[in-house]
Structure 1
Amino acid sequence: MIIDAVLDEAVRNNAAWCDTMCRAHGLPGTFGPRAWTAPRRTPLYYPDAVTLTEDADASDVLTGIDRSAPGASVKDSHARLDLAAEGFRLLFEAQWIHRPAGLPRPAVTADWRPVGSRAELAAWALAWSDGDADEAALFRPELLADPATTLIAGHAPDGSVLGGAVLTDSGTVTGISNLFTTPGTDPAAAWAGALSHLAPDRAAVGYESGDDLPPALAAGFATIGPLKVWLDA
């Protein structure tokens, strides 16, 4: 089915971004037949395992991760696992989203451009983290050298960051993640800015939940399936 193929692209694109983030921290993961796993604990907010197929089971994600201390997480990409018996609790649920190539793009209302220097990355990360320097350190300069990763920032006339996003090119689709806006900026502006940097023939994928989902749908995305994230308590 077409939706199944699109979902598979979204899942693998997101797993590729997780692996890129981990590699930027010197923590490479492994792509197996049914799951991506990281043998050492991953950076803040990033999963220790991601299921890649509908038939992935608990052993596919748990045997390859570090559970020596609480806090490991699993992205159940098809919302099919029940990890409660393994000591996990459900952290949150979300919806995968997809925007076909060729749709008209929303109008861009600010200066949106790729982050190209360490100084620009530092400003982007501080805006993303709402000024928390420890969280901002998640985004390391190594990301600027990754050919599949582009960080996009929107700028006000005074040069301050209005919002941003991460674009991950996986060959068939572009993933949009870590989308944010600073206070007073409409999320629609961030979606427009991110979409303006996609190749014309490239579909966009990602996932959102709660209040962050409606702006994505308004930008032309549709939901294509649920996901769950589990946390080792």
Structure 2
Amino acid sequence: MTDDRTATAVANNAAWCAAVCRAHGLPTTTDRYAWASPRRTPPYYPDLVTLDPDCPVDALDRVDAGPGCSVKDSFGTLDLTGRGFGVVIEATWLHTPAYDAVDDGWVAVRDATALAGWVDAWGGGTGIVVPELLADADVAVLARYDDGRVGAGATVNRAAGAIGVSNLFGADPGRAWAGAVAAAYRVFGRHPVVGYEHGDDLAAAVRAGLTPLSPLRIWLHA
């Protein structure tokens, strides 16, 4: 049986992927087994996210499953090697109940000019986090400014009764987690916090107080 916390993290992340696709004018579909975009998603975003550990491999029929396609195997239960895919990332879902995060002066990015500065500080995000996202009532782009420049940032979304944190960056990830969560609470109110990370970023999230849950895999068709 899937841990309810993992199910929340998965559902929240699928909603975030859907929000990004909407901002790019891309259609999406959702059923019991998976969220999917029939057209290629922006870089770093999956074409399909499994929502059920029993999701069948033929869910790939809902997307353009050729070269460049990526799948977020939320429960690590798929074997896509026979369809030309390989695992590129093994990560871990994260969760923490609502808590008293340290307010570090983060603010919500409100316009395209400020967003351009955020994207430049993030690096590699040109054309992914676009101004259309700023109009989504369940999405916020957050930043901490140091001497007038973006020193840390994150995107957050409200869905499935939780706040999802993604695209977190900053010189001190632990400090960044606390600041981003405090700012998200000002925007959305207090909710459990979810996300996923791998490698050093996972270790930083755990140090910041998030609980590691079950693993996920990201598959890519080369």
TM over 0.5: yes
* 1:82 equivalent among 75, 79, 83: 79
Structure 2 counterparts to residues 53-68 of structure 1, below 5 A: 53-60=52-59, 62-67=60-65
Matched, 1:194 2:184: no
Q: Distance in 1 between matches of 2:12 and 2:140?
A: 14
Q: CA deviation at 1:166?
A: 0.7
Q: Distance in 1 between matches of 2:192 and 2:88?
A: 29
How many residue pairs end up in the alignment? Answer: 219
* 2:100 equivalent among 100, 104, 108: 104
Contact 2:90 2:198 in 1 (8 A): yes
* 2:118 equivalent among 120, 124, 140: 124
Q: Distance in 2 between matches of 1:170 and 1:144?
A: 16
Q: Distance in 1 between matches of 2:19 and 2:29?
A: 11
Q: Distance in 1 between matches of 2:167 and 2:3?
A: 24
Q: Distance in 2 between matches of 1:89 and 1:198?
A: 35
Could you state the TM-score of these two structures normalised by the residue count of structure 2? Answer: 0.94
Matched, 1:209 2:198: yes
Cα-to-partner distance string for 1:168-191 (whole Å, 9 max, x where unaligned): 10151000001012xxx2112211
Q: List runs of 5+ in structure 2 lacking aligned partners.
A: none
Q: CA deviation at 1:7?
A: 0.9
Q: CA deviation at 1:23?
A: 1.1
Q: CA deviation at 1:141?
A: 0.8
Contact 1:39 1:65 in 2 (8 A): yes
Q: CA deviation at 1:206?
A: 0.2
Structure 2 counterparts to residues 1-233 of structure 1, below 5 A: 4-60=3-59, 62-67=60-65, 69-101=66-98, 103-105=99-101, 107-109=102-104, 111-129=105-123, 132=124, 135-156=125-146, 158-181=147-170, 185-199=171-185, 201-233=190-222
Q: Distance in 1 between matches of 2:96 and 2:143?
A: 21
Cα-to-partner distance string for 1:60-110 (whole Å, 9 max, x where unaligned): 2x011113x411000000001111011101111000000112x332x344x
Cα-to-partner distance string for 1:196-231 (whole Å, 9 max, x where unaligned): 124363100000000101111111100111000000
Q: Distance in 2 between matches of 1:177 and 1:31?
A: 21
Contact 1:16 1:170 in 2 (8 A): yes
- Residue type of the alignment partner of 2:197: E
Contact 2:155 2:165 in 1 (8 A): yes
Contact 1:95 1:227 in 2 (8 A): yes
- Residue type of the alignment partner of 2:75: H
- Residue type of the alignment partner of 1:160: R
Could you state the TM-score of these two structures normalised by the residue count of structure 1? Answer: 0.90
Q: Distance in 2 between matches of 1:21 and 1:30?
A: 14
Q: List runs of 5+ in structure 1 lacking aligned partners.
A: none
SS at match of 2:62: coil
